[in-house]
Amino acid sequence: MDITVKFKNLPELYIELNDNPTVKRWLQLFKDNYSAEFPIFRDMQKYSLSYLKELVAQANDDLGWSFTQDINSIDDTVLLHKHIETTLANGFSSIPAEFDNLLHELHFCLHMVEYNCFTVSANKRTYFLLEWFNNDGFDLDETFDHMLFMKFGDIRLQNPFVGHVPLQIYSQNDASNVFQTCKFHNFVRPGMYIETRVEYYDNFSPSQYIRWWNTNAPEFVEKHGIERILHYTGHPVIGRVTNLDDLTTVVNSTQILELENVSFQ
C-alpha cells in the first residue's frame, strides 16, 4: 500500500494510489506538507443544521452579512454559498486572517448539511477530508481524466477552490452567477478526500447535460467551450482504499473520530 491512515482506536485504512506522474507529484506534495504540519481533520458529526445557523449568525455579525433566510433546502444553501463566494472573490488573502476559520467552518458545514439533511445519505460521514490551509500546489495536467462516478473508498484530490465543478453546478441547477461559482478543478492541493458515498448517475445524459449548459450559461460556454466543460465534468480520483470492510467500520463508528497518524510505504 502507498498510504496508511489511522484514526484513534479504529482499524487502519490502506490506500493504493494510481500510477501516473500527477499522482506521484501529488504524493510528494502530501508528504512535504505532512512533514511540516499535521493535516486538518474534522469529524462530520459536529456539522449539523443548527451549527450552520450559528455560523451564519456569526458571519452576519463579524462579516457584515445580511443572510436572514431560514435554511430548509438545497436552494437555501446555494444562496448561502454565494455569500461565501463573494466574500472570497479575491481569495483568503483579501480578508483579515481572523475570519479564515469562520469561513472554512461555514463552507465545510454548509456542504455537510447539504449531504446529510437535504439529500439521501447512507451515513453521517459522507467523506473524510485531510487538508492544509495554504497555497501549496501545482497546476493539474490538462490530460488528467476526471471520473464521472465515484465509488465507496475512492480517493480524490482536495478541492482547491470555494466554487463548484461543472457537474455540481448542473446537479444543483445553479446557473446564477455561473462565472463566479463554476470553478474547474485545474490545480492540485496537498490534501485528499476519502469518499464514503456511492454516486449514481443512471439517468445522466451527455446530450441533456450539454443542452443545459448551452441553454442556461451560453456566455460561459462561449468563453470556455463545451469540450473544456466536459473535460472537467467529474472528479479527480487518484486511488482507493483497499480494505473496504475496515472503512465501513470507521464510517459507522459512534465515537468522535480523531486522526492519529498517516504513514507511507
Q: Using one digit for the tens of pLDDT, what is the confidence trace for 139-156?
A: 999 999 999 888 999 999
pLDDT computed for residue 97 by the predictor:
87
- 81 φ, ψ to 5°? -60, -35
- Residue 1: its pLDDT value, please? 81
At residue 203, does pLDDT exceed 80? no
C-alpha cell at position 47: 456539522
For residues 204 and 219, give the distance between their C-alpha atoms in angstroms, rounded to a whole number: 23
Q: Which of 32-46, 121-135, 188-202 has the highest mean pLDDT?
A: 32-46
Task: Pick 199 or 179 by higher pLDDT.
Answer: 179
Cβ atoms of residues 132 and 39 within 8 Å: yes
- pLDDT value at residue 16: 98
Indicate if the pLDDT at residue 19 is higher than 70.
Answer: yes
Report the predicted TM-score, pTM, of the whole model to 2 decimal places.
Answer: 0.83
How many whole angstroms separate alpha carbon 24 and alpha carbon 240?
A: 15
Beta-strand runs (E) in 100-217: 127-130, 138-139, 154-157, 187-188, 192-195
With b meaning 16 or more CB within 10 Å and e meaning fewer, what string describes 125-163?
A: bbbbbbbbeeeebeebeeebebeeebebbbbbbbbbbbb
Assign 62 a pLDDT band (cuts: 50, 70, 90): very high
Cell of 114: 447539504
Q: Please, which pLDDT band fits residue 201 given cuts at 50, 70 and 90?
A: low
Q: What is the reported pLDDT for 120?
A: 57
The average confidence (pLDDT) of the chain is: 92
pLDDT at 123 over 60: no
- Name residue 194's beta-bridge partners: 128, 155
More confident residue, 191 or 115: 191
Burial class (CB in 10 A: 0-12, 13-18, 19+), 213: buried
Q: Phi, psi (5° rounding) for residue 257? A: -75, 140
